[in-house]
Structure 1
Amino acid sequence: MKKITFSFLLAAFFILPAAAQTYNELCERAVAATEQDSLQQAESYIRQALQLEPANPHNALLFSNLGTIQRRQHRYELALESYRMALNIAPMSIPILMNHATLALELGQDDKARADYSQVLEFDPHNREALLMRAYIYMQQRSYKLARQDYDTLLKVEPQSYSGRLGLATLCQRDTKYDEALMVLDGMLADKGGATPYTLHELAVIYVARAGVELDMLKSDLAMLDLEKAIQLDPSQAEAYLMRGRIYLLQKKKAQAKQDFEKAVSLGVPQSEVRDLMRQSK
Protein backbone atom coordinates (compact mmCIF):
# COMPACT_ATOMS: atom_id res chain seq x y z
CA MET A 1 0.00 0.00 0.00
CA LYS A 2 1.41 3.29 -0.88
CA LYS A 3 1.97 5.84 1.83
CA ILE A 4 -0.04 9.03 2.00
CA THR A 5 1.20 11.97 -0.05
CA PHE A 6 2.37 15.21 1.57
CA SER A 7 1.60 18.25 -0.59
CA PHE A 8 4.30 20.82 -0.32
CA LEU A 9 2.33 23.85 -1.51
CA LEU A 10 5.41 25.51 -2.95
CA ALA A 11 3.78 26.18 -6.31
CA ALA A 12 0.95 27.98 -4.56
CA PHE A 13 3.27 30.45 -2.86
CA PHE A 14 4.15 32.20 -6.10
CA ILE A 15 0.56 32.85 -7.17
CA LEU A 16 -0.79 34.26 -3.93
CA PRO A 17 -0.94 38.03 -3.63
CA ALA A 18 1.70 39.91 -1.71
CA ALA A 19 -0.86 40.80 0.98
CA ALA A 20 -0.92 37.14 2.02
CA GLN A 21 2.80 36.95 2.70
CA THR A 22 2.33 35.98 6.36
CA TYR A 23 0.13 33.09 5.27
CA ASN A 24 2.84 32.05 2.84
CA GLU A 25 5.52 32.20 5.50
CA LEU A 26 3.49 30.00 7.82
CA CYS A 27 3.02 27.47 5.02
CA GLU A 28 6.74 27.49 4.27
CA ARG A 29 7.58 27.00 7.93
CA ALA A 30 5.12 24.11 8.15
CA VAL A 31 6.82 22.41 5.21
CA ALA A 32 10.28 22.94 6.70
CA ALA A 33 9.18 21.65 10.11
CA THR A 34 7.64 18.56 8.53
CA GLU A 35 10.82 17.82 6.59
CA GLN A 36 12.72 18.04 9.89
CA ASP A 37 10.17 15.70 11.49
CA SER A 38 9.05 18.45 13.87
CA LEU A 39 5.44 17.42 13.44
CA GLN A 40 4.01 19.25 16.43
CA GLN A 41 5.58 22.51 15.26
CA ALA A 42 4.37 21.92 11.70
CA GLU A 43 0.84 21.41 12.95
CA SER A 44 1.05 24.67 14.89
CA TYR A 45 2.10 26.58 11.77
CA ILE A 46 -0.70 25.05 9.73
CA ARG A 47 -3.33 25.93 12.33
CA GLN A 48 -2.05 29.50 12.47
CA ALA A 49 -2.31 29.78 8.70
CA LEU A 50 -5.83 28.37 8.71
CA GLN A 51 -6.87 30.81 11.39
CA LEU A 52 -5.27 33.72 9.57
CA GLU A 53 -7.07 33.07 6.26
CA PRO A 54 -9.97 30.65 6.83
CA ALA A 55 -11.41 31.29 3.35
CA ASN A 56 -8.19 30.75 1.39
CA PRO A 57 -8.85 28.05 -1.27
CA HIS A 58 -5.37 26.63 -0.69
CA ASN A 59 -6.53 25.54 2.75
CA ALA A 60 -7.54 22.26 1.11
CA LEU A 61 -3.84 21.45 0.83
CA LEU A 62 -3.21 22.66 4.38
CA PHE A 63 -5.92 20.39 5.76
CA SER A 64 -4.54 17.50 3.70
CA ASN A 65 -1.05 18.13 5.05
CA LEU A 66 -2.46 18.35 8.56
CA GLY A 67 -4.13 14.97 8.05
CA THR A 68 -0.83 13.47 6.97
CA ILE A 69 0.93 14.86 10.02
CA GLN A 70 -1.79 13.46 12.30
CA ARG A 71 -1.59 10.09 10.59
CA ARG A 72 2.16 9.97 11.18
CA GLN A 73 1.41 10.64 14.85
CA HIS A 74 -1.18 7.79 14.88
CA ARG A 75 -3.98 10.27 15.58
CA TYR A 76 -6.13 8.55 13.02
CA GLU A 77 -9.60 9.91 13.76
CA LEU A 78 -8.29 13.47 13.70
CA ALA A 79 -6.49 12.70 10.45
CA LEU A 80 -9.73 11.49 8.89
CA GLU A 81 -11.47 14.67 9.94
CA SER A 82 -8.68 16.78 8.45
CA TYR A 83 -8.96 14.94 5.13
CA ARG A 84 -12.74 15.45 5.20
CA MET A 85 -12.21 19.17 5.70
CA ALA A 86 -9.83 19.17 2.76
CA LEU A 87 -12.40 17.39 0.60
CA ASN A 88 -15.08 19.89 1.60
CA ILE A 89 -12.92 22.54 -0.07
CA ALA A 90 -11.62 20.44 -2.99
CA PRO A 91 -13.99 17.48 -3.45
CA MET A 92 -12.44 16.44 -6.78
CA SER A 93 -8.81 16.40 -5.65
CA ILE A 94 -7.46 12.96 -6.50
CA PRO A 95 -4.45 13.12 -4.12
CA ILE A 96 -6.70 14.06 -1.19
CA LEU A 97 -9.24 11.38 -2.09
CA MET A 98 -6.43 8.83 -2.22
CA ASN A 99 -5.11 9.97 1.15
CA HIS A 100 -8.55 9.69 2.72
CA ALA A 101 -9.12 6.26 1.15
CA THR A 102 -5.78 4.91 2.31
CA LEU A 103 -6.38 5.94 5.89
CA ALA A 104 -9.97 4.70 5.87
CA LEU A 105 -8.73 1.32 4.65
CA GLU A 106 -6.11 1.18 7.41
CA LEU A 107 -8.88 1.84 9.95
CA GLY A 108 -11.00 -0.99 8.56
CA GLN A 109 -13.53 1.38 6.97
CA ASP A 110 -13.54 -0.54 3.70
CA ASP A 111 -16.81 0.85 2.34
CA LYS A 112 -15.64 4.44 2.78
CA ALA A 113 -12.31 3.64 1.15
CA ARG A 114 -14.07 1.93 -1.74
CA ALA A 115 -16.29 4.98 -2.25
CA ASP A 116 -13.21 7.21 -2.42
CA TYR A 117 -11.45 4.94 -4.91
CA SER A 118 -14.62 4.80 -7.00
CA GLN A 119 -14.77 8.59 -7.06
CA VAL A 120 -11.13 8.75 -8.14
CA LEU A 121 -11.90 6.33 -10.96
CA GLU A 122 -14.77 8.51 -12.13
CA PHE A 123 -12.24 11.29 -12.69
CA ASP A 124 -9.39 9.02 -13.82
CA PRO A 125 -10.67 5.61 -15.03
CA HIS A 126 -7.15 4.21 -15.42
CA ASN A 127 -5.73 5.29 -12.07
CA ARG A 128 -3.59 2.27 -11.26
CA GLU A 129 -3.49 2.57 -7.50
CA ALA A 130 -7.24 3.14 -7.25
CA LEU A 131 -7.94 0.12 -9.46
CA LEU A 132 -5.58 -2.06 -7.44
CA MET A 133 -6.94 -1.01 -4.07
CA ARG A 134 -10.60 -1.18 -5.06
CA ALA A 135 -10.03 -4.65 -6.48
CA TYR A 136 -8.45 -5.64 -3.16
CA ILE A 137 -11.47 -4.35 -1.25
CA TYR A 138 -13.89 -6.13 -3.57
CA MET A 139 -11.93 -9.34 -3.10
CA GLN A 140 -12.02 -9.00 0.69
CA GLN A 141 -15.78 -8.51 0.44
CA ARG A 142 -16.09 -11.60 -1.79
CA SER A 143 -17.31 -9.49 -4.72
CA TYR A 144 -15.14 -11.53 -7.03
CA LYS A 145 -16.74 -10.45 -10.29
CA LEU A 146 -16.21 -6.76 -9.51
CA ALA A 147 -12.67 -7.41 -8.31
CA ARG A 148 -11.85 -9.20 -11.55
CA GLN A 149 -13.15 -6.28 -13.58
CA ASP A 150 -10.76 -3.94 -11.80
CA TYR A 151 -7.81 -6.31 -12.12
CA ASP A 152 -8.58 -6.80 -15.82
CA THR A 153 -8.71 -3.03 -16.36
CA LEU A 154 -5.46 -2.54 -14.47
CA LEU A 155 -3.67 -5.23 -16.45
CA LYS A 156 -4.83 -3.70 -19.73
CA VAL A 157 -3.21 -0.45 -18.64
CA GLU A 158 -0.12 -2.12 -17.16
CA PRO A 159 0.14 -5.77 -18.34
CA GLN A 160 3.30 -6.43 -16.30
CA SER A 161 1.95 -5.02 -13.03
CA TYR A 162 3.44 -7.16 -10.25
CA SER A 163 0.75 -6.28 -7.72
CA GLY A 164 -2.01 -6.60 -10.30
CA ARG A 165 -0.96 -10.05 -11.46
CA LEU A 166 -0.38 -11.29 -7.94
CA GLY A 167 -3.75 -9.90 -6.90
CA LEU A 168 -5.46 -11.62 -9.82
CA ALA A 169 -3.83 -14.93 -8.89
CA THR A 170 -5.02 -14.53 -5.30
CA LEU A 171 -8.52 -13.75 -6.54
CA CYS A 172 -8.55 -16.87 -8.71
CA GLN A 173 -7.38 -18.95 -5.76
CA ARG A 174 -10.12 -17.63 -3.49
CA ASP A 175 -12.66 -18.25 -6.23
CA THR A 176 -11.37 -21.86 -6.42
CA LYS A 177 -10.13 -21.32 -9.97
CA TYR A 178 -6.83 -22.97 -9.17
CA ASP A 179 -5.68 -23.73 -12.71
CA GLU A 180 -6.09 -20.08 -13.69
CA ALA A 181 -4.26 -18.96 -10.55
CA LEU A 182 -1.35 -21.24 -11.44
CA MET A 183 -1.32 -19.96 -15.00
CA VAL A 184 -0.95 -16.37 -13.77
CA LEU A 185 1.80 -17.27 -11.29
CA ASP A 186 3.62 -19.49 -13.78
CA GLY A 187 3.57 -16.60 -16.24
CA MET A 188 5.08 -14.28 -13.64
CA LEU A 189 7.88 -16.73 -12.92
CA ALA A 190 8.49 -17.31 -16.62
CA ASP A 191 9.07 -13.66 -17.50
CA LYS A 192 10.57 -12.73 -14.08
CA GLY A 193 9.36 -9.17 -14.44
CA GLY A 194 10.38 -8.62 -18.04
CA ALA A 195 12.07 -5.26 -18.51
CA THR A 196 11.88 -4.64 -14.76
CA PRO A 197 13.27 -7.83 -13.16
CA TYR A 198 11.76 -8.90 -9.87
CA THR A 199 13.76 -8.59 -6.69
CA LEU A 200 14.59 -11.77 -4.79
CA HIS A 201 11.89 -10.84 -2.28
CA GLU A 202 9.29 -10.43 -5.03
CA LEU A 203 10.25 -13.77 -6.58
CA ALA A 204 9.98 -15.45 -3.18
CA VAL A 205 6.49 -14.04 -2.70
CA ILE A 206 5.40 -15.55 -6.03
CA TYR A 207 6.75 -18.96 -5.01
CA VAL A 208 4.90 -18.75 -1.69
CA ALA A 209 1.71 -17.77 -3.52
CA ARG A 210 2.06 -20.72 -5.88
CA ALA A 211 2.70 -23.04 -2.94
CA GLY A 212 -0.55 -21.85 -1.39
CA VAL A 213 -2.48 -22.72 -4.54
CA GLU A 214 -0.77 -26.11 -4.74
CA LEU A 215 -1.71 -26.83 -1.14
CA ASP A 216 -5.34 -26.03 -1.91
CA MET A 217 -5.06 -28.54 -4.77
CA LEU A 218 -3.68 -31.11 -2.28
CA LYS A 219 -0.29 -31.14 -4.01
CA SER A 220 1.84 -30.81 -0.91
CA ASP A 221 4.98 -32.18 -2.55
CA LEU A 222 4.95 -29.42 -5.16
CA ALA A 223 4.12 -26.87 -2.50
CA MET A 224 7.11 -27.98 -0.45
CA LEU A 225 9.45 -27.51 -3.42
CA ASP A 226 8.16 -23.99 -3.96
CA LEU A 227 8.50 -23.13 -0.27
CA GLU A 228 12.07 -24.37 -0.23
CA LYS A 229 12.80 -22.18 -3.25
CA ALA A 230 11.15 -19.17 -1.60
CA ILE A 231 13.22 -19.57 1.57
CA GLN A 232 16.36 -19.98 -0.48
CA LEU A 233 15.63 -16.72 -2.30
CA ASP A 234 14.50 -14.80 0.79
CA PRO A 235 15.11 -16.37 4.22
CA SER A 236 12.94 -13.67 5.83
CA GLN A 237 9.75 -15.03 4.25
CA ALA A 238 7.67 -15.66 7.39
CA GLU A 239 4.71 -17.01 5.44
CA ALA A 240 6.95 -19.65 3.84
CA TYR A 241 7.98 -21.04 7.22
CA LEU A 242 4.40 -20.95 8.45
CA MET A 243 3.14 -22.84 5.42
CA ARG A 244 5.99 -25.33 5.47
CA GLY A 245 5.35 -25.96 9.16
CA ARG A 246 1.75 -26.86 8.36
CA ILE A 247 2.95 -29.35 5.74
CA TYR A 248 5.35 -30.88 8.26
CA LEU A 249 2.41 -31.27 10.65
CA LEU A 250 0.46 -33.11 7.96
CA GLN A 251 3.48 -35.36 7.50
CA LYS A 252 3.70 -35.98 11.29
CA LYS A 253 7.12 -34.31 11.39
CA LYS A 254 6.42 -32.41 14.56
CA ALA A 255 9.97 -31.36 15.39
CA GLN A 256 10.47 -29.74 11.99
CA ALA A 257 7.02 -28.16 12.21
CA LYS A 258 7.76 -26.66 15.61
CA GLN A 259 11.06 -25.28 14.36
CA ASP A 260 9.35 -23.59 11.40
CA PHE A 261 6.58 -22.10 13.56
CA GLU A 262 9.17 -20.68 15.93
CA LYS A 263 11.04 -19.21 12.97
CA ALA A 264 7.82 -17.66 11.65
CA VAL A 265 7.19 -16.02 15.04
CA SER A 266 10.75 -14.67 15.12
CA LEU A 267 10.03 -13.05 11.75
CA GLY A 268 6.92 -11.29 12.98
CA VAL A 269 4.02 -13.72 12.82
CA PRO A 270 1.83 -13.10 15.92
CA GLN A 271 2.04 -15.74 18.64
CA SER A 272 -1.77 -15.98 18.60
CA GLU A 273 -1.67 -17.15 14.99
CA VAL A 274 0.57 -20.14 15.72
CA ARG A 275 -0.47 -21.01 19.27
CA ASP A 276 -2.70 -23.91 18.24
CA LEU A 277 -0.17 -25.07 15.64
CA MET A 278 2.59 -25.09 18.27
CA ARG A 279 0.37 -27.14 20.55
CA GLN A 280 -0.15 -29.70 17.76
CA SER A 281 3.64 -29.83 17.28
CA LYS A 282 4.31 -31.20 20.76
Structure 2
Amino acid sequence: MKRSILLVGIVCFSLNIFSQTYQELSEQALEWAQKDSLQKAEELFRQALRLEPANPHNALLFSNIGSLQQRAGKYEDAIESYTFALNIAPRVVSILLNRATVYMEVGKLDKAYVDYCEALDLDKVNTEALSMRAYIYIGRRDYNAARIDYNRLLTIEPNNYNARLGLITLNQKEQKYKDALELVNKMLEENSHDAVLYVVRAGVEQEMNHLELALIDLDKAISIAPNSTEAYILRGEVYLAQKKKTQAKADFEKAISLGVLSTDLREYLQQCK
Protein backbone atom coordinates (compact mmCIF):
# COMPACT_ATOMS: atom_id res chain seq x y z
CA MET A 1 0.00 0.00 0.00
CA LYS A 2 1.69 3.14 -1.32
CA ARG A 3 1.44 6.88 -0.19
CA SER A 4 1.90 9.95 -2.29
CA ILE A 5 5.15 11.76 -1.49
CA LEU A 6 4.65 15.42 -0.70
CA LEU A 7 7.27 18.13 -0.51
CA VAL A 8 6.67 20.75 2.14
CA GLY A 9 7.13 24.36 1.19
CA ILE A 10 8.76 26.72 3.66
CA VAL A 11 6.92 29.97 4.23
CA CYS A 12 8.89 32.99 5.34
CA PHE A 13 6.83 34.67 8.03
CA SER A 14 9.52 37.12 9.03
CA LEU A 15 12.87 38.22 7.72
CA ASN A 16 14.22 37.49 11.19
CA ILE A 17 13.41 33.78 10.81
CA PHE A 18 15.17 33.05 7.54
CA SER A 19 17.85 34.78 5.60
CA GLN A 20 16.61 35.65 2.14
CA THR A 21 19.15 33.36 0.52
CA TYR A 22 17.98 30.42 2.60
CA GLN A 23 14.43 31.13 1.55
CA GLU A 24 15.30 31.59 -2.10
CA LEU A 25 17.26 28.34 -2.25
CA SER A 26 14.40 26.46 -0.63
CA GLU A 27 11.85 27.87 -3.07
CA GLN A 28 14.10 27.17 -6.05
CA ALA A 29 14.54 23.60 -4.86
CA LEU A 30 10.78 23.12 -4.75
CA GLU A 31 10.47 24.50 -8.28
CA TRP A 32 13.09 22.06 -9.58
CA ALA A 33 11.38 19.20 -7.74
CA GLN A 34 8.11 20.03 -9.48
CA LYS A 35 9.99 19.71 -12.78
CA ASP A 36 11.24 16.26 -11.67
CA SER A 37 14.81 17.55 -11.57
CA LEU A 38 15.42 15.63 -8.36
CA GLN A 39 19.21 15.89 -8.24
CA LYS A 40 19.16 19.67 -8.80
CA ALA A 41 16.45 20.10 -6.15
CA GLU A 42 18.42 18.06 -3.62
CA GLU A 43 21.55 20.10 -4.34
CA LEU A 44 19.68 23.36 -3.66
CA PHE A 45 18.19 22.04 -0.41
CA ARG A 46 21.67 21.03 0.73
CA GLN A 47 23.01 24.49 -0.09
CA ALA A 48 20.33 25.95 2.15
CA LEU A 49 21.28 23.51 4.92
CA ARG A 50 24.91 24.57 4.70
CA LEU A 51 23.93 28.21 5.02
CA GLU A 52 22.02 27.74 8.27
CA PRO A 53 22.88 24.35 9.77
CA ALA A 54 21.27 25.20 13.12
CA ASN A 55 17.96 26.42 11.73
CA PRO A 56 15.13 24.38 13.36
CA HIS A 57 13.23 24.50 10.07
CA ASN A 58 15.90 22.28 8.57
CA ALA A 59 13.65 19.39 9.58
CA LEU A 60 11.50 20.34 6.59
CA LEU A 61 14.52 20.46 4.31
CA PHE A 62 15.75 17.06 5.41
CA SER A 63 12.24 15.69 4.97
CA ASN A 64 12.06 17.13 1.47
CA ILE A 65 15.44 15.64 0.61
CA GLY A 66 14.14 12.30 1.87
CA SER A 67 11.09 12.63 -0.38
CA LEU A 68 13.31 13.35 -3.39
CA GLN A 69 15.47 10.33 -2.61
CA GLN A 70 12.38 8.20 -2.13
CA ARG A 71 11.08 9.24 -5.54
CA ALA A 72 14.47 8.35 -7.02
CA GLY A 73 14.41 4.90 -5.42
CA LYS A 74 17.34 5.69 -3.12
CA TYR A 75 15.59 4.18 -0.14
CA GLU A 76 18.45 3.87 2.34
CA ASP A 77 19.43 7.49 1.71
CA ALA A 78 15.80 8.50 2.17
CA ILE A 79 15.63 6.69 5.52
CA GLU A 80 18.74 8.55 6.66
CA SER A 81 17.31 11.92 5.60
CA TYR A 82 13.96 11.30 7.29
CA THR A 83 15.85 10.25 10.41
CA PHE A 84 17.80 13.51 10.37
CA ALA A 85 14.49 15.35 10.09
CA LEU A 86 13.01 13.43 13.01
CA ASN A 87 16.08 14.12 15.12
CA ILE A 88 15.17 17.80 14.80
CA ALA A 89 11.38 17.42 14.94
CA PRO A 90 10.52 14.01 16.43
CA ARG A 91 6.78 14.65 16.75
CA VAL A 92 5.95 15.38 13.12
CA VAL A 93 3.51 12.68 12.03
CA SER A 94 3.95 13.21 8.29
CA ILE A 95 7.69 12.53 8.50
CA LEU A 96 7.12 9.40 10.59
CA LEU A 97 4.68 8.15 7.97
CA ASN A 98 7.11 8.90 5.14
CA ARG A 99 9.91 6.99 6.85
CA ALA A 100 7.56 4.11 7.63
CA THR A 101 6.61 3.93 3.96
CA VAL A 102 10.26 3.58 2.97
CA TYR A 103 10.80 0.93 5.63
CA MET A 104 7.90 -0.98 4.07
CA GLU A 105 9.49 -0.61 0.62
CA VAL A 106 12.74 -2.21 1.79
CA GLY A 107 11.05 -4.91 3.86
CA LYS A 108 11.89 -3.52 7.30
CA LEU A 109 8.41 -4.09 8.65
CA ASP A 110 9.41 -4.07 12.32
CA LYS A 111 10.88 -0.58 11.97
CA ALA A 112 7.84 0.57 10.02
CA TYR A 113 5.64 -0.80 12.80
CA VAL A 114 7.46 1.34 15.38
CA ASP A 115 6.94 4.46 13.27
CA TYR A 116 3.24 3.72 12.76
CA CYS A 117 2.82 3.20 16.50
CA GLU A 118 4.55 6.49 17.25
CA ALA A 119 2.39 8.24 14.67
CA LEU A 120 -0.74 6.85 16.34
CA ASP A 121 0.51 7.95 19.75
CA LEU A 122 0.56 11.48 18.32
CA ASP A 123 -2.55 11.19 16.16
CA LYS A 124 -4.91 8.46 17.35
CA VAL A 125 -7.24 8.81 14.34
CA ASN A 126 -4.58 8.68 11.63
CA THR A 127 -6.16 6.40 9.05
CA GLU A 128 -2.98 5.65 7.13
CA ALA A 129 -1.12 4.50 10.24
CA LEU A 130 -4.07 2.35 11.34
CA SER A 131 -4.39 0.72 7.91
CA MET A 132 -0.69 -0.03 7.56
CA ARG A 133 -0.26 -1.25 11.12
CA ALA A 134 -3.18 -3.64 10.60
CA TYR A 135 -1.47 -4.87 7.42
CA ILE A 136 1.69 -5.56 9.42
CA TYR A 137 -0.34 -7.39 12.07
CA ILE A 138 -1.78 -9.67 9.38
CA GLY A 139 1.75 -10.52 8.25
CA ARG A 140 2.56 -11.40 11.86
CA ARG A 141 -0.63 -13.48 12.07
CA ASP A 142 -1.81 -11.31 14.92
CA TYR A 143 -5.32 -11.30 13.56
CA ASN A 144 -6.99 -9.97 16.70
CA ALA A 145 -4.79 -6.86 16.71
CA ALA A 146 -5.37 -6.36 12.98
CA ARG A 147 -9.13 -6.61 13.44
CA ILE A 148 -9.02 -4.03 16.25
CA ASP A 149 -7.16 -1.57 14.00
CA TYR A 150 -9.46 -2.14 11.03
CA ASN A 151 -12.59 -1.75 13.16
CA ARG A 152 -11.14 1.39 14.71
CA LEU A 153 -10.45 2.71 11.24
CA LEU A 154 -14.02 1.99 10.18
CA THR A 155 -15.37 3.98 13.12
CA ILE A 156 -13.45 6.94 11.68
CA GLU A 157 -14.26 6.23 8.02
CA PRO A 158 -17.16 3.75 7.76
CA ASN A 159 -16.59 3.15 4.05
CA ASN A 160 -12.80 2.98 4.12
CA TYR A 161 -11.87 0.71 1.21
CA ASN A 162 -8.65 -0.71 2.63
CA ALA A 163 -10.19 -1.46 6.02
CA ARG A 164 -13.09 -3.33 4.46
CA LEU A 165 -10.75 -5.32 2.23
CA GLY A 166 -8.60 -6.00 5.27
CA LEU A 167 -11.53 -7.47 7.17
CA ILE A 168 -12.35 -9.68 4.19
CA THR A 169 -8.75 -10.92 4.23
CA LEU A 170 -8.94 -11.57 7.96
CA ASN A 171 -12.16 -13.54 7.64
CA GLN A 172 -10.66 -15.54 4.81
CA LYS A 173 -7.52 -16.36 6.79
CA GLU A 174 -9.65 -17.43 9.75
CA GLN A 175 -11.82 -19.51 7.39
CA LYS A 176 -14.86 -17.39 8.12
CA TYR A 177 -15.85 -17.64 4.48
CA LYS A 178 -19.50 -16.69 4.93
CA ASP A 179 -18.52 -13.44 6.63
CA ALA A 180 -15.90 -12.75 3.96
CA LEU A 181 -18.43 -13.25 1.17
CA GLU A 182 -21.00 -11.04 2.86
CA LEU A 183 -18.50 -8.20 3.05
CA VAL A 184 -17.25 -8.50 -0.52
CA ASN A 185 -20.78 -8.89 -1.89
CA LYS A 186 -21.81 -5.70 -0.14
CA MET A 187 -18.87 -3.86 -1.64
CA LEU A 188 -19.73 -5.18 -5.10
CA GLU A 189 -23.29 -3.97 -4.70
CA GLU A 190 -21.82 -0.51 -4.22
CA ASN A 191 -19.35 -0.82 -7.09
CA SER A 192 -19.96 -3.58 -9.61
CA HIS A 193 -17.06 -2.46 -11.83
CA ASP A 194 -14.25 -2.97 -9.34
CA ALA A 195 -12.02 -5.70 -10.77
CA VAL A 196 -10.13 -6.07 -7.49
CA LEU A 197 -13.29 -7.10 -5.67
CA TYR A 198 -14.02 -9.85 -8.19
CA VAL A 199 -10.50 -11.19 -7.70
CA VAL A 200 -10.96 -11.07 -3.93
CA ARG A 201 -14.26 -12.92 -4.11
CA ALA A 202 -12.74 -15.48 -6.46
CA GLY A 203 -10.01 -16.10 -3.90
CA VAL A 204 -12.60 -16.86 -1.24
CA GLU A 205 -14.51 -19.10 -3.63
CA GLN A 206 -11.30 -20.93 -4.54
CA GLU A 207 -10.65 -21.73 -0.89
CA MET A 208 -14.23 -22.95 -0.57
CA ASN A 209 -13.56 -25.18 -3.60
CA HIS A 210 -16.24 -23.39 -5.61
CA LEU A 211 -13.97 -23.37 -8.63
CA GLU A 212 -16.56 -22.66 -11.32
CA LEU A 213 -17.80 -19.62 -9.41
CA ALA A 214 -14.23 -18.46 -9.01
CA LEU A 215 -13.68 -18.71 -12.77
CA ILE A 216 -16.79 -16.64 -13.46
CA ASP A 217 -15.53 -13.90 -11.17
CA LEU A 218 -12.02 -14.00 -12.64
CA ASP A 219 -13.38 -13.78 -16.18
CA LYS A 220 -15.36 -10.74 -15.07
CA ALA A 221 -12.29 -9.16 -13.44
CA ILE A 222 -10.24 -9.64 -16.61
CA SER A 223 -13.01 -8.16 -18.75
CA ILE A 224 -12.91 -5.04 -16.56
CA ALA A 225 -9.12 -4.92 -16.11
CA PRO A 226 -7.38 -6.86 -18.92
CA ASN A 227 -3.94 -6.17 -17.40
CA SER A 228 -4.73 -7.53 -13.94
CA THR A 229 -1.83 -9.86 -13.19
CA GLU A 230 -3.52 -11.00 -9.98
CA ALA A 231 -6.55 -12.19 -11.94
CA TYR A 232 -4.45 -14.17 -14.43
CA ILE A 233 -2.37 -15.80 -11.71
CA LEU A 234 -5.39 -16.79 -9.65
CA ARG A 235 -7.22 -18.08 -12.72
CA GLY A 236 -4.12 -20.12 -13.56
CA GLU A 237 -4.23 -21.62 -10.07
CA VAL A 238 -7.89 -22.52 -10.48
CA TYR A 239 -7.21 -24.11 -13.85
CA LEU A 240 -4.41 -26.14 -12.28
CA ALA A 241 -6.80 -27.34 -9.59
CA GLN A 242 -9.09 -28.48 -12.40
CA LYS A 243 -6.18 -30.21 -14.19
CA LYS A 244 -6.53 -27.80 -17.12
CA LYS A 245 -2.80 -27.35 -17.60
CA THR A 246 -2.91 -25.73 -21.04
CA GLN A 247 -5.22 -22.95 -19.89
CA ALA A 248 -3.24 -22.54 -16.68
CA LYS A 249 0.04 -22.19 -18.57
CA ALA A 250 -1.49 -19.58 -20.88
CA ASP A 251 -2.60 -17.49 -17.90
CA PHE A 252 0.75 -17.70 -16.15
CA GLU A 253 2.55 -16.71 -19.35
CA LYS A 254 0.13 -13.81 -19.76
CA ALA A 255 0.98 -12.63 -16.25
CA ILE A 256 4.68 -12.80 -17.12
CA SER A 257 4.08 -10.76 -20.28
CA LEU A 258 2.44 -8.12 -18.07
CA GLY A 259 5.51 -7.81 -15.86
CA VAL A 260 5.43 -10.62 -13.30
CA LEU A 261 8.85 -12.21 -12.85
CA SER A 262 9.04 -15.66 -14.41
CA THR A 263 10.94 -16.88 -11.35
CA ASP A 264 7.90 -16.07 -9.21
CA LEU A 265 5.78 -18.42 -11.29
CA ARG A 266 8.38 -21.11 -11.96
CA GLU A 267 6.75 -23.65 -9.65
CA TYR A 268 3.33 -23.13 -11.24
CA LEU A 269 4.78 -23.47 -14.74
CA GLN A 270 6.46 -26.71 -13.80
CA GLN A 271 3.10 -28.06 -12.68
CA CYS A 272 1.71 -27.25 -16.14
CA LYS A 273 4.01 -29.79 -17.86
TM range (shorter): over 0.9
Query: Residue 211 of structure 1 contacts residue 223 of structure 1 at CA under 8 Å; is this kept in 2?
Result: yes
In structure 1, what residue type is equivalent to 2:221? Answer: A
Render the CA deviation track for 1:58-102: whole Å, top value 9, x for unaligned.
100000001111122222111111101100111111111111111
2:255 maps to: 264
Q: Percent identity?
A: 52
- The answer to whether the aligner puts 1:4 opposite 2:5 as a matched pair is yes
What are the residue-to-residue correspondences of 1:94-173 with 2, within 5 Å? Answer: 94-173=93-172
For the pair 1:254 / 2:245, whether they are aligned, the reply is yes
- Cα distance in 1 for partners of 2:198, 2:89 equals 44
The 5-angstrom pairing of residues 40-119 of structure 1 reads 40-119=39-118
Contact 1:5–1:99 under 8 Å retained in 2: no
Tell me the distance in 2 between the aligned counterparts of 1:228 and 1:8: 47
The C-alpha deviation readout for 1:114-134, integer Å capped at 9, x for no partner, is 111111111211111111111
Structure 2 counterpart SS, 1:242: helix
Instruction: Write out the 4+ residue segments of structure 1 that deviate beyond 6 Å after TM superposition.
Output: none
The CA RMSD measured in Å over matched residues stands at 1.5
Cα distance 1:103–1:220, how it changes in 2: closer, same or farther (>3 A)?
Answer: same
TM-score, normalised relative to structure 2:
0.95
Cα displacement (A) at 1:220: 1.0
- 1:220 corresponds in structure 2 to 211
Once the two structures are superposed, residues 217-246 of structure 1 have per-residue CA deviations (whole angstroms, 9 ceiling, x without a partner) of 111121111111111221111111111112
> Any unmatched runs of 5+ in structure 2?
none
Task: Tell me the equivalent position of 2:181.
Answer: 182
Q: Which deviates the most, 128-137 or 262-271? A: 262-271
For 1:6, what is the secondary structure of its paired residue? coil
* 8 Å Cα contact 1:4-1:102 kept in structure 2: no
1:208 aligns with 2:199: yes
Aligned counterparts of 1:165 and 1:214: Cα–Cα separation in 2: 18
1:277 CA drift (Å) = 1.7
User: Which residue matches 1:281?
Assistant: 272
Q: Tell me how far apart the structure 1 counterparts of residues 122 and 230 of structure 2 sit (CA, whole Å).
A: 38
Return the alpha-carbon distance in structure 1 between the equivalents of residues 38 and 232 of structure 2.
39
TM-score, normalised by the number of residues in structure 1: 0.92
CA distance in 1, matches of 2:77, 2:224: 42
Deviation at 1:175, TM superposition (A): 2.3
Matched to 1:128, the amino acid is T
Distance apart, 1:140 and its partner CA: 1.0
How many Å apart are 1:280 and its aligned residue? 2.1
Equivalent AA in structure 2 for residue 2 of structure 1: R
- The structural deviation recorded for 1:18 is 7.2
